[in-house]
Amino acid sequence: MQTQVMKKIDFTGKDLFVGLDVHKKSWSVTIVVDGMEHRTFTQPPDPEALQKYLLRSFPGGNYQSAYEAGYCGYGIHRRLNDLGIKNIVINAADIPTTQKDKLHKRDPVDSRKLARGLEKNSLRGIHVFERDHEELRSLNRTCLLYTSDAADDLPCVDLGGPRLIKKKKNQHTTLLPPSLLTPIHPTTQPH
């Protein structure tokens, strides 16, 4: 009986560049190693599945990834970094694109461009706020939305907590603080 010895490939110290084109239902993934494209494939939208694939196929590697900023926000970015995959989020307008790429826009093409851009170190990530700061920005934007000109016809807007009332005074908008928002009851006049 002959035994077969399998030599396990070790990628310790090797940089792996992962381009991601993320969508709600699936991700297009391209992996570039040592200047060669290893594979482009589609996977479920799951950072843990990507990590599992990278650890199984490229043990010990230095994983770097990038995806375009968009609807999905920064949750994927934070999760990939937590899993040990150094990720950056790219402004889509900053990715070099040829006319041919524009005519033949497909998810695998986009993920390849991201992986190649990472490899060439030609991509610069956008600033990603900490989660707390991002939530405050979101709250601020929501308040601005409800207190914008679109809410002019409403006497008040209920944001689920203290009530913000918007009133017009000589064409200037005044936001009243919650301390001034006490109900006014008509007093009864003695006859």
Q: What is the mean pLDDT of the chain?
A: 78
pLDDT at position 172 is 47
Kindly indicate the confidence band of residue 133, based on its pLDDT and cuts at 50, 70 and 90.
Answer: confident
Asked if 53 and 46 count as a contact pair (C-beta separation under 8 A), the reply is no
Could you say which of 3.30.420.140, 3.30.1540.10, 3.90.480.20, 1.20.58.340 is the CATH number of the domain covering 15-119? 3.30.420.140
Whether the predicted pLDDT of 124 surpasses 70: yes
3 state SS of 18? strand
Buried b / exposed e across 149-181, counting CB within 10 Å, b at 16+?
eeeeeeeeeeeeeeebbbeeeeeeeeeeeeeee
pLDDT > 90: what percent of the chain? Answer: 44
Of 10-14, 31-35, 150-154, the least confident: 150-154
- Four-point Cα dihedral 176, 177, 178, 183, nearest 10: -30
Where are the domains positioned within the chain? Answer: 15-119, 131-176
Mean pLDDT, residues 108-133 taken together: 89
The model's pLDDT over 57-112, given as tens digits with 9 standing for 90+, comes to 999 999 999 999 987 888 999 999 999 999 999 998 888 777 776 666 677 888 99
- Classify 76 as helix, strand or coil: helix
Q: What is the largest CA-CA distance in the chain?
A: 115
The pLDDT value recorded for residue 54 is: 95
Q: pLDDT tens digits, residue range 142-178?
A: 776 666 555 555 555 555 545 454 444 444 445 555 5
